[in-house]
Amino acid sequence: MMAGIYIKGMEIPESCLDCKVHYVWGSGRPQCLINGEFIDDPNAYKQKRLEECPFIPVPDHGDLIDRDSAVHDLAFDYAYAAADLVKELPAIIPADKGCRR
């Protein structure tokens, strides 16, 4: 099972109403099609992204790497000091819960 996706060039919408992955049922009740959550407050839905929104902003970045894999490789190929430096690099997309190499 894959942990998530990144859609190159996609901007996070300012509100659920602006989002391309929502659906408004015939009853007028909007639903997020990613997490399946129904949006109970139609006014908030039109004005902002709700806290339950599954989108995570990704800042401008260089190549994303698997830091744990890099540390493992550096530890065997180079000095441990270099591996310690990699450990301190910020995560662009944080690891999923329970995901460790």
More confident of the two residues 59 and 31: 31
* Confidence category of residue 78, pLDDT binned at 50, 70, 90: low
Read off the amino acid at residue 10. M
Q: Above pLDDT 90, what percent of the chain? A: 4
pLDDT of 81 above 70 = no
The neighbour count for residue 16, using CB atoms within 10 Å, is 25
Alpha-helical segments (H) within 34-89: 42-47, 67-77, 80-87
Q: For the CA atoms of the chain, what is the radius of gyration?
A: 19
pTM of the model: 0.58
Write down the pLDDT at residue 50: 81
Mean pLDDT, all residues of the chain = 78
Q: How far apart are CA 55 and CA 16, in angstroms?
A: 11
pLDDT, mean of residues 56-75: 76
Judge whether residue 82 has pLDDT over 60.
yes
Amino acid at 30: P
Instruction: Please choose, from the candidates 48, 61, 50, the residue with its C-alpha nearest in 3D space to the C-alpha of residue 91.
Output: 61
Q: List residues bridging with 89 in a β-sheet.
A: none
